[in-house]
Amino acid sequence: MCNSQIDVGVAAYADDVAAVGPAASRELIEDLVIANHILFDQGIVDAFGHVSVRHDQNPDRFLLTRNMAPATVSADDIVEFLLDGTPVNAAGRAVYLERFIHGEIYKARPDVQAIVHSHSPSVLPFSVSQRTRLRPICHMSGFLGGGTPVFEIREAAGDGTDLLICNQGLGAALAQRLGKSSVVLMRGHGSTVVGPSLKHAVYRAVYAEVNARLQVDALRLGEVTYLSDKEAETAQRHIETQIDRPWEMWKKRVQ
């Protein structure tokens, strides 16, 4: 079972990290705050869930907010972490228990620059379905590929856990199940979405939820024709050149 969250104070981010290495850019910190607000506005996170970004001056660190509801995040709430989950500048602030999701994926996937973990309501049922995988049914969701893998925590930690990724071992097991995919479902828990930028990760988290809703609607009508692997690859490559369009729209909504 997971231990309680460690207590690790409130000061400006740049002041906190001055003695431990170069601070992340102001733009990156601002975008991380905005990402939290967008994900709440789009219904991907509620009081729970989190988004991180790899440090733009030190790839062996990442930024994640302190333990709080995403909609209430400000720049002063950003905490820097080592990839093993150790907070660098928490200074008395409680940190997310599941920070190991982020650190272990960054370790395993040098290409990943941002991660969203959520319990988005339309995606979660696919984590427990024995018959139907989450697969792309529209061109906006080509990043789902041939179908999303599912992480079964019982295989890594046995029965009786609280389903949370509360240590490095479980984080590493989740990263292994993610493999080269953009999304991994977590049985009875939610999903984790990765991307080559913060904008990509937010886009994919939003459109994973959109695809899940559309897929459920389509299944009610009968047999579904999904995107082929080649269609998904081509659609992703082309559509994701337009990431700035939804980002700027979502950003304007929350500002």
95 found inside a domain: yes
End-to-end CA distance of the chain: 39
121 found inside a domain: yes
Place 147 in a pLDDT band, splitting at 50, 70 and 90.
Answer: confident
Lowest mean pLDDT among 2-11, 31-40, 160-169: 2-11
5 found inside a domain: no
Catalytic positions are 98
Per-residue pLDDT tens for 193-208?
Answer: 999 999 999 999 999 9
Judge whether 67 and 5 are in contact, CB under 8 Å: yes
Please report the pLDDT score of residue 20 as a whole number.
Answer: 64
Per-residue pLDDT tens for 71-95?
Answer: 999 999 999 999 999 999 998 899 9
3-state secondary structure labels for all residues of the chain: CCCCCCECCCCCHHHHHCCCCCCCCHHHHHHHHHHHHHHHHCCCCCCCCEEEEECCCCCCEEEEEECCCHHHCCHHHEEEEECCCCECCCCCCEECCCHHHHHHHHHHCCCCCEEEEECCCCCHHHHCCCCCCCCCCCHHHHHHCCCCCEECHHHHHCCCCCCCCCCHHHHHHHHHHHCCCCEEEECCCEEEEEECCHHHHHHHHHHHHHHHHHHHHHHHHCCCCCCCHHHHHHHHHHHHHHCHHHHHHHHHHHC
Per-residue pLDDT tens for 112-128?
Answer: 999 999 999 999 999 99
Distance from C-alpha of 95 to C-alpha of 105, rounded to nearest angstrom: 18
36 found inside a domain: yes
Range of the domain at 118: 23-254
174 found inside a domain: yes
Please report the pLDDT score of residue 9 as a whole number.
Answer: 31
Structural domain count of the chain: 1
Q: Closest Cα to residue 209, out of 49, 73, 53?
A: 49
Q: Closest Cα to residue 89, out of 25, 36, 10?
A: 10
> The domain that contains 97 carries what CATH number?
3.40.225.10
Instruction: Tally the residues of the chain.
Output: 255
Query: What would the two tokens of residue 57 be?
Result: 């001056």
9 found inside a domain: no
11 found inside a domain: no
199 found inside a domain: yes
User: Which comes out higher in pLDDT, residue 167 or 17?
Assistant: 167
Query: What would the two tokens of residue 178 be?
Result: 């993610």
Distance from C-alpha of 35 to C-alpha of 243, rounded to nearest angstrom: 13
Query: What would the two tokens of residue 151 be?
Result: 């992480």
